[in-house]
Structure 1
Amino acid sequence: MKKLVLTTVTVFAILLMGNAQEIAENAIGLRLGDSDGFGAEISYQRALGDNNRLEVDLGLRSGNDFDGFKIAGLYQWVWQLDGDFNWYAGAGGGIASYEFDNSPPGFDDGETFVFVAGNVGIEYSFDIPLMLSLDFRPELGFGDDIYDNDDLDFDIALGIRYQF
């Protein structure tokens, strides 16, 4: 177990020391996916430096027993893997509001809550101004206990963005 932890830390440190690729100044597109239903988000990324950026997502969520929207903001660090292939990690948070179809009698069928989020993913920039990404975003929500949003949610999504 100690060897596994040491190896993981060493690989991560080597990747952090790698040369960063300059990222696009702006990128806008869609982020599609979710952990417990379907979600579509309008996603905007703004470069803050050669390998740092801000991502803001506004999306709609739909599941078997809920509909809602979510706004998320993330600060990301980007590292080059090979050529136009990058990986990134970040942290942030947001706010969400859901309406539930099967609310208990006597309770409001809606809930608004805040969440904190992490983010890790991979992306590929094509020779044309198009970027594809696949990311994993664990989210920890803080809201009413009625609908159990005080637990960890794993949001996995595919992104397609136009870079400019």
Structure 2
Amino acid sequence: MKKLVLVSLALIGFALTTDAQVISDNAIGLRMGDSDGFGAEISYQRALGDNNRLELDLGWRDGRSSNFDFDGFKLAGLYQWVYPLDGGFNWYVGAGGGIGSYSFQTDGMDKTDTFIFAAGDIGIEYDFEIPLLISLDFRPEIGFGDDAYNNNDLDFDIALSIRYQF
């Protein structure tokens, strides 16, 4: 039992004290996924230190569901911690939130639904030797707002991103 505790503490300490990863100062690109009607987002990352950054994503979409036409936007902001894995691979975890709004027509009436949401984020990325970053992440989101467009649900967003680093 004593060995198990020591090994666990050593692994946790190793994970928290790994060498600082130098991440790009800025990255901009597309985050392509799907959660509750949003498919593509413009994504911007700004380094805040050697191993943490801020990510801002703006998504918009218009279309038709089985019941109504809709259009909307969603702005998300996440604080992320980045940890090196091997070579150009990193993994990251983060938390944040955002705001969104839908306009839709149902039963012959125009309606608008504005909501806020809390989000988590976990993912893996590969930093190429050229200024290109590709990542795959999982972002659970829980919305708070009017129930007209079902924004009080827990959504699971999985997305592939490609960003230019500068």
TM over 0.5: yes
1:40 is matched by which residue type in structure 2? A
Deviation, structure 1 residue 108: 4.3
Q: Structure 1: any 5+ residue segments left out of the alignment? A: 1-6
Alignment root-mean-square deviation, CA: 2.4
Alignment of 1:109-128 (within 5 A): 109-128=111-130
- Structure 2 distance, partners of 1:113, 1:48, is 28
Task: Establish whether residue 137 from structure 1 lines up as the match of residue 139 from structure 2.
Answer: yes
| Contact map agreement 1:20 1:78 (CA 8 A) in 2 | no
- Structure 1 distance, partners of 2:160, 2:82, is 17
Deviation, structure 1 residue 31: 0.5
Deviation, structure 1 residue 18: 2.6
Alignment of 1:1-164 (within 5 A): 14-62=14-62, 64-65=64-65, 66-101=70-105, 103=106, 105=107, 108-164=110-166
Deviation, structure 1 residue 99: 2.3
Matched residues, number: 156
SS at match of 1:109: strand
Q: Structure 2: any 5+ residue segments left out of the alignment? A: 1-6
1:148 is matched by which residue type in structure 2? N
SS at match of 2:133: strand
| Contact map agreement 2:74 2:99 (CA 8 A) in 1 | yes
Bigger Rg, which one: 2
SS at match of 1:128: coil
Aligned pair in 2 of structure 1 residues 61, 10: CA closer, same or farther (>3 Å)? farther
1:130 is matched by which residue type in structure 2? L
What fraction of aligned residue pairs are identical, expressed as a percent?
A: 69
Higher share of residues assigned strand: 2
**TM-score w.r.t. length of structure 1:** 0.84
Q: Which range moves more in the overlay, 148-157 or 129-138?
A: 148-157
- Structure 2 distance, partners of 1:55, 1:71, is 11
**TM-score w.r.t. length of structure 2:** 0.83
| Contact map agreement 2:38 2:59 (CA 8 A) in 1 | no
